Every structure is written in C-alpha cells, then in structure tokens.
Amino acid sequence: MKFGIHYYRIIALTHYLCTLAIILFSMIALQLSTILTEVKGSTLIITINRPEALNALNSQVITDLDAAIDHLIQSPELRGAVITGAGEKSFVAGADIAEVNGLEEGQALAYGRRGQAVLEKIERGGKPVVAAIGGFALGGGCELAMACTLRIASVKARFGQPEVKIGLIAGYGGTQRLPRRIGITKATELLLTGEMINAEEALSLGLVNHLCEHGEQVAKSLELLEKIYANSPLAVTLTLDAIRQGVLNPATGFEIEAQNFARAAESYDGKEGTKAFMEKRKAEFKGE
C-alpha cells in the first residue's frame, strides 16, 4: 500500500515538474524583440513595443505577433488575450511606411498576404482577444483592432484608414472588416477620404465596444475578459466560430484586397506617396 502511495506521488510530482518545465520553456521561447508579453491569470497581455515609431507595424512586429498568437492558441491555460501598444500616444499608428516604400515588384503581394494571415489568425483562433486602444489606431493599427474580438478605447483614441492619402489602400483586411464593423456607407466614406474619427464617433458607429479614461484601457479589457471567462470555454469558442462562419465568405474580398494593395504599393503614386510622407512634403500623384 505504501509503495502504491509513493508511486502515485512520484507520478504527480513528475507531471507537475513537466508542466512547470513546459511553462518555463514557453516563457523563454516567447522573448520577442518588438513585443512584450505578460500573463495575468488566464490572460496573455501582448504589448507592441515600438513607442519611438508609434508602434508602427513592420515585418518583425508581424512575425512576433504571429508567435504570440500561436502561443495563445496552443496554451490551454490561456483563455484569452489583450493586445495593446506601448507609450501614451499610440495603439498602432499604421504600417512602417519606409518598409512599404522599399518593396520591390512582386513583394507587395506577399507583404499584404502575410499581414492578412496573422490578423486572420487572431480572428479565427477560437479565444477572445480584446484590443486595448489608447491613442492612434490608424491604417494597420485600425485593421489590427478590427481583427480582435472586442475593442476597448480610451477617450483619446483616434481611428482611421488613411492609406489613400499616400497612394495606397488598406492591405491588412481593412476594406473587408470596416464595412462589416460599421456598415458599408460610413466605411466607404472613411476608406475613400482617409479621415480620422475620434473615440466618441467610433463608439457611436459600433467600431468600439466601450470607452474609458486614458490609461485604463488594459484594466477595462481584463474586466471584460473576466466576464467572458465566467462562461463555458467551449460555448465561447463555438460562439466565436458561429459568428465567423455566419459572415459571408470573405476570401474573395481578401484576395482582391491583397492584389489591389500590391498594385497600389508598386505604383508610381504608392512610391511617391510613401516617399513624400517620409520627406514630410506634399505628394504629387499622377494616378498611375
């Protein structure tokens, strides 16, 4: 009898040590160069950490974000995530314009598809992800926020898809998700004018779920997730799947967007617009 008790204790201890080793390994493996991660309870907090560039998305951020979302999906102890941006000014202020401007012929299509794939993984991952938005959520930042399950914004948040102002179009799902989030009429206006809207208008349009005081967006996101965690994990996952499946197949729209983003990025106007942006001058577009 004593041998049996000791045997089961050894098995339990071995299981505990293996579990601890897996957790520690995953924490080490998740040391990313452009993203900070922290676990609070059952939530993975993902902070895009490029405040000097207003957390602009470049290829490394996309790669790191992909790894963080994989970690979320594959970790049974994690039930959801919060995505936010470092610093006081910005959630994510768009794509890295210098990187887009440097794309050679044929590269822009892969660039757009890569970003689309990572954002779609957030949407399809089966776990709720809340965007905690303080400051600018422009271009790729707005697209990232829209790919999340829910959005909490500070009163200082600003939203927009300004790509047309520099000769580009939204390339990470913006032309597909914005109409689904706020309706085609207003979405078309914002996509064609490139104008920003403030937090109050974003709330009234249904682009965000709740507003909060600046600096409280992560805490409010965690509170919202705790309400979700009180429910059946399976039911939450199945609900998310049903919502996603209920939307008409966006694959065609995403492919058209990727093709058109590539055309825009490789065009004269795309090169001129991004170059003018970096040189802080007015672009001279030719429509070609």
Mean pLDDT over all residues of the chain? 89
Short-list 83, 97, 7, CA closest to 49: 83
Burial bucket for residue 147 (CB in 10 Å: 0-12, 13-18, 19+)? buried
Look at residue 27 in the predicted model and tell me its pLDDT.
45
The average pLDDT across 17-38 equals: 65
| Dihedral of the alpha carbons of 249, 250, 255, 256, in degrees to the nearest 10 | 110
Q: What is the pLDDT of residues 94-116, one digit of tens each?
A: 989 999 998 887 899 999 999 99
The average pLDDT across 150-156 equals: 98
Provide CATH code, domain 33-279. 3.90.226.10
Look at residue 258 in the predicted model and tell me its pLDDT.
85
The average pLDDT across 187-206 equals: 98
Cα separation, 139 vs 54, in Å, equals 12
The average pLDDT across 52-67 equals: 96
Contact 180, 148 (CB under 8 A): no
Domain edges within the chain: 1-31, 33-279
Angle value at C-alpha 78, between 76 and 82, nearest 5 degrees? 150
Looking at the predicted structure, is the pLDDT value of residue 64 above 70?
A: yes
Look at residue 241 in the predicted model and tell me its pLDDT.
84
pLDDT interval class at 4 (50, 70, 90): low
Burial call 43-53: b when 16+ CB within 10 Å, e when fewer: bbbbbbbbeeb
Q: What is the pLDDT of residues 113-143, one digit of tens each?
A: 999 999 999 999 999 999 999 999 999 999 9
Q: Is 143 a catalytic residue?
A: yes
**Radius of gyration over every alpha carbon of the chain, rounded to an integer in angstroms:** 21
Look at residue 24 in the predicted model and tell me its pLDDT.
47
Look at residue 167 in the predicted model and tell me its pLDDT.
94
Instruction: Specify the higher pLDDT residue, 238 or 88.
Output: 88
Q: What is the pLDDT of residues 72-93, one digit of tens each?
A: 999 999 999 999 999 999 999 9
Look at residue 9 in the predicted model and tell me its pLDDT.
56
Short-list 145, 97, 89, 91, CA closest to 122: 145
Q: Which amino acid is at 111?
A: Y
Contacts of 249 (CB under 8 A, 6+ apart): none
pLDDT interval class at 195 (50, 70, 90): very high
Contacts of 243 (CB under 8 A, 6+ apart): none
Burial call 154-166: b when 16+ CB within 10 Å, e when fewer: bebbbbbbbbbbb
Q: Where are the alpha helices (DSSP H) in the chain?
A: 2-29, 59-74, 97-101, 107-124, 140-147, 174-182, 184-193, 199-205, 217-229, 233-246, 251-266, 268-279
pLDDT interval class at 239 (50, 70, 90): confident
Look at residue 106 in the predicted model and tell me its pLDDT.
84
Contact 56, 62 (CB under 8 A): no
Q: Which of 163, 189, 201, 213 is catalytic?
A: 163
Query: Could you tell me the pTM of the whole model?
Result: 0.85
Tokens of 288: 């070609």
Looking at the predicted structure, is the pLDDT value of residue 251 above 90?
A: no
Q: Is 279 a catalytic residue?
A: no
Contacts of 179 (CB under 8 A, 6+ apart): 187, 188
Instruction: Specify the higher pLDDT residue, 286 or 226.
Output: 226
Look at residue 256 in the predicted model and tell me its pLDDT.
79
What percentage of the chain carries pLDDT values higher than 70?
88
Q: Which of 143, 189, 213, 216 is catalytic?
A: 143
